[in-house]
Structure 1
Amino acid sequence: MEWYLEVLKKYAVFAGRSRRKEYWMFCLFNLIVAVLLAIVEGAMNSPGVLGLLYSLFVLLPALAVTVRRLHDIDRSGWWIFISLIPVVGSIILLVFLVQDGQAGHNQYGANPKDLVA
């Protein structure tokens, strides 16, 4: 939960770097919330408004943490747009997102692993 809240605290911060753990824990928590909202909406027979509102709420933080994750592997945040290429683009972005961050300092800042003791 702390990783999720950390991303929300950096709501629209596109500068810096994010660890793999921060990114993937945020994704996991988003998945859990989305499933729970889908279950609640299915039980209430509602049209999906809660899920839509939640998606809009986390859109900007999700984009920001993805850009920071790309910065961690020393890639520009503009690489996020490669996902617009059907199938292949999403696979390439996934490969980027699972890579270990660049050791030491890069053009986007200090290694976040070094900052956590």
Structure 2
Amino acid sequence: MGIGDGRRQAGPGFAGFIDRLGESRSGRTLIWCLDFRGRLPRWQFWLYIAAFTGYLALLNMWAGYLDEETPRLIWVAGAPAIVAMVPLVPLAIRRLHDTGRNGAWLLLSFCAAIGFIIVLVLLAMPGQKGANLYGEWIPRARAHDPRR
């Protein structure tokens, strides 16, 4: 790997960690989930929402079986739920990119219930066929591959 060959060596620090993380399949998937660039097909976004909802339901059932005080329940069930919500923002932004909208539309969800409903409708709309400002259209056959 010489200078100018287009590849960067994994150095020390956070950048080196990210480079090394991208070498494994699970690392590529994690980086793919946290990437704000590009587009995300509708079915992939709603699949993540379904998995996230199932995960929250399991956490809720598990926390219900625990007979302990409330502050501990917050850490047992709340912390993993918050960690699972982290990829939701980049995935929603990429979903909005697929419909040809800027990720700033996601801020509308903080404006009472009507803003949340508007964003939910935008996320449910079909994506634009062909290239748009945020990248090429991703055919369903290629959409599952985190290496693209």
Aligned match for 1:56, one of 79, 82, 99 = 82
Higher RCO (CA < 8 A, seq sep 6+): 1
* One-letter amino acid of the counterpart of residue 135, structure 2: G
Aligned match for 1:102, one of 117, 128, 132 = 128
Unaligned runs of 5+ in 1: 1-5
Q: RMSD between aligned alpha carbons?
A: 2.1
Q: Which residue of 1 aligns with 2:9?
A: none
Aligned match for 2:111, one of 76, 85, 93 = 85
SS in 2 for 1:113: coil
Say which one has the larger Rg: 2
Q: Which residue of 2 aligns with 1:3?
A: none
- 2:133 is aligned with 1:111: no
Q: Determine what percentage of the aligned residue pairs are the same residue.
A: 29
TM-score normalised by length of structure 1: 0.86
- 2:37 is aligned with 1:11: no
CA distance in 2, matches of 1:7, 1:102: 24
- 2:93 is aligned with 1:67: yes
Per-residue deviation, 1:84: 1.1
Per-residue deviation, 1:85: 1.0
The count of residues paired between Structure 1 and Structure 2 equals 113
CA distance in 1, matches of 2:141, 2:135: 11
CA distance in 2, matches of 1:56, 1:113: 31
Aligned match for 2:47, one of 25, 29, 37 = 25
TM-score normalised by length of structure 2: 0.69
Distance 1:8 1:25, change over 3 A: farther
Q: Which residue of 1 aligns with 2:57?
A: 35
Per-residue deviation, 1:115: 6.1
8 Å contact from structure 1 (residues 73, 101) kept in 2: yes
Distance 1:93 1:59, change over 3 A: same
CA distance in 1, matches of 2:74, 2:60: 7
